[in-house]
């Protein structure tokens, strides 16, 4: 009954990630919330790790951590730099600290309106 959403948890995360508009970024926590997994910021990170390589339609590079910084990791095989490059390509400018001003690029805007 109610086959409302028997979709894999990860797929919902991917769906939420695809909704991030170009030139904008969302945090893991936000994506988790949009995916219907409030508080599961970690799952988002886990899911994205499994998808990053065969990248298809998922703008995984638009997902960053709550600090407004790209989550670098040794296990990422350098995909973290690809993320940096892609964000720059979309017109996003990093601060001197290598961070992204969420107040400007954060999405959805409603979470960052002053």
Site residues, DNA (CB under 7 A): 8-10, 27-29, 39-46, 48-52, 60-61, 63, 65-67, 71, 73-76, 79-80, 83
Q: Which residues contact 52 (CB under 8 A, 6 or more apart)?
A: 60, 76, 79
Ordered DSSP codes for 25-50? BEEHHHHHHHTT-TT-HHHHHHHHHH
Least distance from DNA to the Cβ atom of residue 105, Å: 15
Least distance from DNA to the Cβ atom of residue 75, Å: 3
Least distance from DNA to the Cβ atom of residue 63, Å: 6
- Rounded CA-CA distance 70/107 in Å is 15
DSSP symbol at 53: T
Least distance from DNA to the Cβ atom of residue 104, Å: 17
DSSP H or E stretch at residue 64: strand 63-64
Residue number, 67 or 109, with CB nearest to DNA: 67
Residue number, 73 or 93, with CB nearest to DNA: 73
Residue number, 43 or 100, with CB nearest to DNA: 43
């Amino acid at each position: 009954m109610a086959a409302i959403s028997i979709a894999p948890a990860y797929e919902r995360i991917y769906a939420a990630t695809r909704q991030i508009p170009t030139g904008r970024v969302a945090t893991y926590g936000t994506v988790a919330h949009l995916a219907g997994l409030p508080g599961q910021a970690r799952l988002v990170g886990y899911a994205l790790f499994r998808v990053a390589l065969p990248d298809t339609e998922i703008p995984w590079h638009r997902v960053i951590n709550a600090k407004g910084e790209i989550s670098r990791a040794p296990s990422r095989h350098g995909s973290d730099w690809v993320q940096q490059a892609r964000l720059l390509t979309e017109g996003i400018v990093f601060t001197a600290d290598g961070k992204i001003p969420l107040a400007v690029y954060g999405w959805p805007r409603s979470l960052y309106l002053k």
